[in-house]
């Protein structure tokens, strides 16, 4: 049982990412057994693919962690921000590396949240219009939102790649 507000928020964060949840697949579960070809498939010109959504989610986990810790921009391992054209290299190894990046960014965000004092939840990070609590709730919802998109893209890709 969670001991305080921070523990509850860590559970919420994990529920959207990689813990069994009532709402169905979480973000990590939605990409289980997805191969590089499926991850790279696009439903149409100019549309996002699963791979890009995964790296986008990793970026925003980094951005929220950075805001919680008051860090400066520029430490994300990839050049750019928000959306990243993927695949840069269409191989299973490149896909697995970007999934590993998502996992790494989640662990970093989770660790930053776990160190946060409950009194800091109402604070607004420098340059942010929302509180730490809103950032944390938002990033958990962000994972669930994109998990749903990925579920749909997987079904569409399965039909298209037959």
Phi, psi angles (nearest 5°) of residue 85: -65, 125
User: Nearest CA to 109 among 25, 31, 13, 5?
Assistant: 13
Query: What is the separation of C-alpha 47 from the centre of its chain, rounded to a whole number of angstroms?
Result: 19
**Confidence grade of residue 1 (pLDDT, cut at 50, 70, 90):** low
Q: Mind listing the pLDDT tens digit for each residue in 99-158?
A: 999 999 999 999 999 999 999 999 998 888 999 999 999 999 999 999 999 999 999 999
Q: Mind listing the pLDDT tens digit for each residue in 50-104?
A: 999 999 999 999 999 999 999 888 889 999 999 999 999 999 999 999 999 999 9
CATH number of 5-160: 1.20.120.450
Segment holding 9, helix H or strand E:
helix 5-17
Query: What is the separation of C-alpha 137 from the centre of its chain, rounded to a whole number of angstroms?
Result: 13
- Residue pair 52/83 in contact by the 8 Å Cβ criterion: yes
**Confidence grade of residue 162 (pLDDT, cut at 50, 70, 90):** confident
Write down the domain spans for the chain.
5-160
For the chain, give the number of residues: 162
């Amino acid at each position: 049982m969670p001991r305080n507000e921070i523990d509850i928020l860590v559970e919420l964060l994990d529920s959207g990412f990689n813990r069994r949840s009532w709402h169905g697949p979480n973000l990590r579960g939605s990409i289980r057994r997805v191969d590089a070809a499926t991850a790279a498939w696009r439903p149409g010109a100019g549309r996002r693919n699963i791979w890009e959504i995964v790296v986008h989610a990793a970026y925003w986990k980094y951005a929220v962690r950075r805001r919680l810790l008051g860090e400066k921009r520029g430490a994300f391992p990839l050049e750019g921000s928000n959306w990243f054209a993927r695949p840069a290299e269409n191989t299973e190894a490149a896909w697995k590396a970007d999934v590993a990046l998502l996992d790494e960014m989640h662990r970093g965000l989770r660790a930053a949240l776990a160190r946060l004092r409950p009194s800091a939840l109402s604070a607004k990070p420098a340059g942010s219009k929302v509180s730490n609590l809103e950032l944390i709730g938002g990033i958990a919802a962000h994972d669930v939102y994109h998990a749903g998109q990925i579920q749909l893209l997987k079904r569409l890709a399965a039909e298209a790649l037959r």
